[in-house]
Amino acid sequence: MTTLIHEKIWLDKNIYNDAEKNYYESLSKVQAPLSVARTSLASEVAKARQHIKDSLECMDSVATLAGVPNTELTSKVNTLEKENSDLKKAINDLRNLVISLQARVETLESTGGGAKTESSKAPATNAAPVANAAPAKAQDDDDDDGVDLFGSDDEEESAEAARIREERLAAYNAKKSKKPVLIAKSNIILDVKPWDDETDMAAMEKAVRGIETDGLLWGAAKLVPLAYGIHKLQISCVVEDDKVSIDWLTEELEKFEDFVQSVDIAAFNKV
């Protein structure tokens, strides 16, 4: 140990270097936040000053605008005031009109009530003579029940009325009998088919038209091809339903066995 005291070499220098390093690092860490805080505070103060400046400029502009009169706003305000005054005037006119109408209605009701009472009194005064006249009339009827002075005249009038009624009935029946009666008719188209292509169609048509009776009228006819050169006779006729039967006409046509194979009804219409 004594030998080390006389030595001039600094064996623990590294320890002192580390301690010095730590000391200065601690000093730098303490001063850095202070500088940051000072910088942020200065920026906030600058922002506040700028905000105050902007606010003052805005207030100056508002004051300037307020000092200058706005013609459009003034005209709108004047228009609204005029409309308000007109509306108040119209309301007052309507109120006065309603009041006058109400007074007129009350006057009419009072006048009508008086007239109604007078009219209700008038029939009451007139009812007395009628009531007095009714017993007198009843008494006169009782006095005349025993004597019939006009009995013969009543019988003559009843006979005359019966005669007039009979004449009118006879005239009505005669007029009704002269009225034309509606005759029910039918328009029929018949298909008359032959046996083969060798059948004489002209002779068959002549035979068909040879059927004549009251209420039967033959119309136009034509030949309609069927097949293999065979034609059928298509003929129209008008019949009165009360006089000619379709079944009877079909049977009469089928009696021509030399020409007619069958008869069909192609169309049937009421006339």
Answer for the pair 253, 198: CB distance below 8 angstroms, yes or no. no
- State the chain's mean pLDDT as an integer: 77
For residue range 136-187, list pLDDT tens digits in order.
444 555 555 544 544 555 566 678 888 888 888 888 888 777 766 677 899 9
pLDDT of amino acid 3? 58
Distance CA 43, CA 224 (A): 119
Whether the per-residue pLDDT at 28 is higher than 90: the answer is no
Kindly indicate the confidence band of residue 50, based on its pLDDT and cuts at 50, 70 and 90: confident
Q: Compute the residue count for the chain.
A: 271
For residue range 213-249, list pLDDT tens digits in order.
998 999 999 999 988 889 999 999 999 988 888 899 9
**Domain 185-270 indexed as CATH 3.30.70.60:** yes
Whether the per-residue pLDDT at 13 is higher than 70: the answer is yes
Give the gyration radius of the chain's Cα atoms. Answer: 67
pLDDT of amino acid 172? 82
Distance CA 77, CA 71 (A): 10
Q: CA dist 45 to 27, 30, 51, 58, 230, Å?
A: 28, 24, 10, 20, 126
What percentage of the chain carries pLDDT values higher than 70? 69
What would the mean pLDDT of 56-63 be, rounded to a whole number? 71
Distance CA 212, CA 243 (A): 12
What would the mean pLDDT of 127-132 be, rounded to a whole number? 45
Whether the per-residue pLDDT at 93 is higher than 80: the answer is yes
Q: Which tokens in the block code for residue 95?
A: 């109120």
pLDDT of amino acid 165? 86
Whether the per-residue pLDDT at 133 is higher than 80: the answer is no
The H-or-E segment that residue 89 falls in is helix 71-144
What would the mean pLDDT of 105-115 be, rounded to a whole number? 75
What would the mean pLDDT of 20-39 be, rounded to a whole number? 68
Bridge partners of 135, per DSSP, are none
Bridge partners of 188, per DSSP, are 237, 268
Q: Does the pTM exceed 0.75?
A: no
Whether the per-residue pLDDT at 191 is higher than 90: the answer is yes
Whether the per-residue pLDDT at 68 is higher than 60: the answer is no
More confident site: 70 or 78: 78
pLDDT of amino acid 192? 92
Q: Which tokens in the block code for residue 156?
A: 């003559």
CB atoms within 10 A of CB 239: 21
CB atoms within 10 A of CB 230: 16
- What b/e string do you get for 62-84 counting C-beta neighbours within 10 Å, with b at 16 or more? eeeeeeeeeeeeeeeeeeeeeee
